[in-house]
Amino acid sequence: MRFPVLFLVLVVLGVLFVLPATADDRSTEIVRYDCTTDLTRREVTLFANGTIRLRDGQIGNESMGLTELGPNERQAFLSRLEGEDLSESRNPEKGVEGAWIERCELRLLLPGRPLQTYRFGHYDPLPLNLSRVVHIVEELAEKVPIVKDKDELPADYEPRPGDVLKRVGDGALFRVVAFTGDEKGVELEGVDWPLALYMPRDEVRRQFSALVSRAR
């Protein structure tokens, strides 16, 4: 009986090595709409887990905001995007160009479809279906409150599970997950990558410089 058992183990291991790793929904970009001039940038990103991120402002000093879509709202937006047939759409012909004219890149990675990328300018005439997709993405952006960076957290700030904070130094975003049993420690997780942090509650103010979004 040892041979069948060994064979079964080898088959299972083989499947594990062949199957690709599942991407983390927190970092998988379903939609990314990035518009820039020589000095400014506006970027809207919808992640697979329903997080919407908005960056807007001078390049290198953009304000940022985050919000979360519920499962039903997320699916409703996905259904609207999937309902637009872009199979025949191409990059529009170039219109007015210049240092102050926005150039945009739209990337779509909808479930079960290959990556689609479109590049166009602010004044370029868009096909109707592509124009509708841009309008849907702008609706996503309208849901995000922009929180401008400050030198430090508000004086009366008390962390809540669900708050998103910006770390001092590298600007990495972390979400407050929970408190320790004695309420003196805080657990945080990375928004853009799977990384957990644990620290004393009174250390949060020294480690983080801005409240990006407040828990509802």
Coil, strand or helix at 73: helix
What secondary structure does DSSP assign to 135-179, as a single string? Answer: HHHHHHHHTPPPB---SS--TT----TT-EEEETTT--EEEEEEE
Separation of alpha carbons 198 and 204, rounded Å: 10
What pLDDT, on the 0 to 100 scale, is given for residue 18? 39
Coil, strand or helix at 51: strand
In the chain the first and final C-alpha atoms are separated, in Å, by: 58
Give the chain's mean pLDDT.
Answer: 81
Tens digits of residue pLDDT in 53-79: 998 887 777 788 889 999 999 999 999
> Which segments of the chain have a pLDDT < 70?
1-23, 88-100, 146-152, 169, 216
> Phi/psi of residue 80, each to 5°?
-65, -40
Separation of alpha carbons 5 and 12, rounded Å: 11
What pLDDT, on the 0 to 100 scale, is given for residue 132? 94
